[in-house]
Amino acid sequence: MIKRRAGRTGQYLALVGYLVFLGFPLLWLVSTAFKPPRELATLHPTWWPKHPTLDNFRQAFDEQPLLHAALNSLLVALSSAVIAVLLATPMAYVMARHRSRLSRAATGWVVVSQAFPFVLVIIPLFLILKRLHLINALPGLVMVYVVWTLPFALWMLTGYVRAVPRELEEAAAVDGAGRLRTLVSITAPLLAPGIVATGLFAFITAWNEFFFALVLLKTPEKQTMPIILTHFIGAEGVADLGPLAAAALLATLPSLLLFALIQRRIAGGMVAGAVKG
Amino acid sequence: MTLATAPPRTRPRRHDRGVWFLVLPALIPILLLSVGPLLYGIGLAFTDSQSGRTQPTRWTGLQNFSDLLHDSLFWDSFRIGLVWAVGVTVPQFLLALGLALLLNQPLRMRWLARALAIVPWAMPEVVVGIMWRLVYHPDAGVLNETLRQLHLGDGTDWLAGLSTALPAVIVVGIWAGMPTTTVSLLAGLQNVPRELHEAAAVDGAGAWRRFRTVTWPALRPVALAMTALNFIWNFNSFALVYVLTNGGPGGRTRLPMLFAYEEAFRYGQFGYAAAMGCVMVAVISVLLAVYLAGRLKGDDQ
C-alpha cells in the first residue's frame, strides 16, 4: 500500500517535471511577446509582464511585411495541401487495395524519401526551377511542397483506406454498382475525414516549412512567414526581443489551431504507417 | 525490404488499366520532381557544377569525393551531426517512453500534458528556435534569471559558449521532437492487449517484468520505427540550429546540412555540396539497413 502510494507520488513528480520542461519555454514566449521594452531590457526579467502591452505586435507589423508574408504562406500552404491530397488519394487507394509490385515500390519510396537529406534534392530542383524561371516565385515553391508532402500523405491515406472495410465495397459490387459508383458513393464518404486530416497536415507542414523557402524565395515580398521571422534577428544575431516574440507567436497560431483539430487522427495514421509499412 | 519478399503475382484483372489511371497523377510528379532530381543530384556530385559558372559543367569523376575525404571541416560537421543525432534521439526516446507509460496511467493532470504535447509538434521549427533563443538569452532569458535567483550562476551566454552551444541546441532538439515520439508511443501502447497485462499481474509479475514481457514486445515495432526515423530526421535537420546558432560559435554546432547549405548557396559549389549529400545518404542507408535487419530479426522471434 505504502509502496504503491510512493509510486504514485513518483509518477506525479515526473509528470510535473515534464510539464515544466514542456511548458516554460512556451510561457516565456507568450510573456515576452506582451512585455514593454523597459521590462525586457533588464538584468532581472519578470516572469510575467507587469504592464502588458500590444506594442510589440504593432511594432512587428511595422518592422517586417508580416501581413504579406502571412498571405504568401496561406496561398502556398493551401494550394499545396489541396493539390497533394488530390494527387495522393487515388494512388493511396490503389496501394491499400492492391498488393502489387507497384504498391510495394511506392511504400519503399515513402521510407527512402524520409531518409535523403534535402540538400541533395534542393540543388537539382534549384537548377530545374531556375531554368523554368520559377525561382523567387510561389508556384515553384508549391511544386516542391506538393512532392515533399506526397510521401506522408500517401502513408496516412493508405492507412485510412485500409480502415474502410473491403466488404462494403464488395457488397456494393454484388448489388451491381460499378467500380466508379462504388468509389464515389461508398468509399469516398467513409474516407472523407481521413482526407481532410491529411490535407490539414499537408497545410501545416507547408505553413511551417523553412529550408526550401529559404533557398527558393529571394525577395521579402515573395517570402513566407518562417523566412520573414528570421529577419527579426539581425545579422549579428541581435534581436529586438519583443517584436520577435510577438511575430513568432502569430506565426504559430494557424498551425496550432488546425493541429488541435486533427492531432488524434495524425497519431493514429503515423502508427498505422509505422506498423504496417 | 521490397525485393526480399517478392509478392505472389497477382492475377491480371480486367480493371488494371483503371489502376494506372488512379496511380499516374501522383506517380508523374513523384518521378519528375523527386526521383528525377534525386538522380540528377547524385549525378551532380560527379561534376564541377557551380552557380554562375560561364563554362559548361564538366564531368570530374570522383574528384569531389576525394576532396571531401580531405576536408576536415566537413568531417568535423559530420561528427557534430552524429553527436547531435544520437544526443537528441536517445534521450528523447527514453523520456518519451517514460512519459508515454505515465500518460497511459489514470493520472489527474494527464489531459494537460496531452494538450501541451500538441504545441511543440505544431510549432514551426523557426519559432521553436526563436523561443529557445529567448529562453537562453544571457540577460533577458528565463534560464539565467532562474539560475541567478537560485544563486547558481549569472549571465552565461549558452548559445555563444564554445562548450555550451552544442549541449544547448541538443536540449532544444529533445524538446522539439519529444511530443511526436510520445504521442506515437502512446498510440502504440493502446495496441498492448490489456488482458495480457492483467493476467501477468494476477500471476504476480512486477511492473518491470510486465513491461518487459507484455508491453515492450507489443511496442517494439513502433519504437524501432520511431527511433530510426528520428535519428534520420535529426541527422538531416536544419532550421532549428540555423535559427539558434547558425552553426556557431566557431562551427561548434555546424550540422552537415548547414555546412552543405553554405557550400551550395553561399559559395555556389553545387557539385561539391551534392557530393556531401551523397555521403550523408550513404551513411544513413547503412544505418537504415542495420535497423531493418534488426527489425526483421525481431519479427522472426
B236-253 pLDDT, tens digit each: 999 999 999 998 899 999
Hey, what's the cell of A68?
Answer: 504579406
The pLDDT assigned to A97 comes to 82
Chain mean pLDDT for chain B = 85
This prediction's pTM: 0.87
Residue from the list A87, A105, A118 with its beta carbon closest to the beta carbon of B26: A87
Residues in chain A, overall count: 277
- B26 pLDDT exceeds 70? yes
End-to-end CA distance of chain B: 18
Distance between CA atoms of A226 and A228, rounded to whole angstroms?
A: 6
Closest chain A residue to B269, measured at CA: A123
**pLDDT at A274 exceeding the cut of 70:** no
Q: Is A270 within 8 Å of B184 when comparing Cβ atoms?
A: yes
pLDDT band at residue A275 under the 50/70/90 scheme: very low
Q: Percent of chain A scored above 90 by pLDDT?
A: 40
Res A66 pLDDT > 70: yes
Among the partner-chain residues B19, B99, B123, the one whose CB lies closest to the CB of A94 is B19
pLDDT at B298: 57
Distance of CA A40 to the CA centre of its chain: 31
The full 3-state SS of chain B, as one line of letters, equals: CCCCCCCCCCCCCCCHHHHHHHHHHHHHHHHHHHHHHHHHHHHHCCECCCCCCCCCCCECCCHHHHHHHCCHHHHHHHHHHHHHHHHHHHHHHHHHHHHHHHHCCCCCCHHHHHHHHHHHHHCCHHHHHHHHHHHHCCCCCHHHHHHHHCCCCCCCCCCCCCCCHHHHHHHHHHHHHHHHHHHHHHHHHCCCCHHHHHHHHHCCCCHHHHHHHHHHHHHHHHHHHHHHHHHHHHHCCCHHHHHHCCCCCCCCCCCHHHHHHHHHHCCCCHHHHHHHHHHHHHHHHHHHHHHHHHHHHHHHC
Min CA distance, B274 vs chain A (Å)?
A: 5
Report chain B residues whose CB lies below 8 A from the CB of A150: 26, 29-30, 34
* B105 interaction partners in chain A (CB closer than 8 Å): 11
Q: What's the pLDDT band for A2 if we cut at 50, 70, 90?
A: low
Instruction: Determine the pLDDT at residue A226.
Output: 95
**Least CB-CB distance to A116: which of B134, B188, B281?**
B281
B-chain residue closest to A43, CA distance: B139
CB contact under 8 A, A120 and B10: no
Q: How many CA atoms lie within 13 A of B93 on its CB side?
A: 18
Instruction: Give the one of B107, B109, B123 whose C-beta lies nearest to A252's C-beta.
Output: B123
Amino acid, res. B289: A
Higher pLDDT, A267 or A7: A7
Q: Model confidence over A16-37: pLDDT tens digits?
A: 888 888 888 999 999 999 998 8
Q: What is the mean pLDDT of chain A?
A: 85
Interface contact A34, partner B, CB < 8 A = no
pLDDT at A3: 58
Q: Lowest mean pLDDT of A205-219, B71-85, B95-109, B195-209, name the range.
A: B195-209
Whether A53 contacts A45, CB under 8 Å? no
On the question of pLDDT at A116 being above 50, the answer is yes
Question: For position B202, what pLDDT does the model report?
Answer: 80
Instruction: Evaluate if residue A119 carries a pLDDT over 90.
Output: no
More confident residue, B143 or A110: B143
Q: What is the mean pLDDT of residues B209-220?
A: 86
Confidence of residue B5 (pLDDT cuts 50, 70, 90): very low
pLDDT higher than 70, residue A265? no
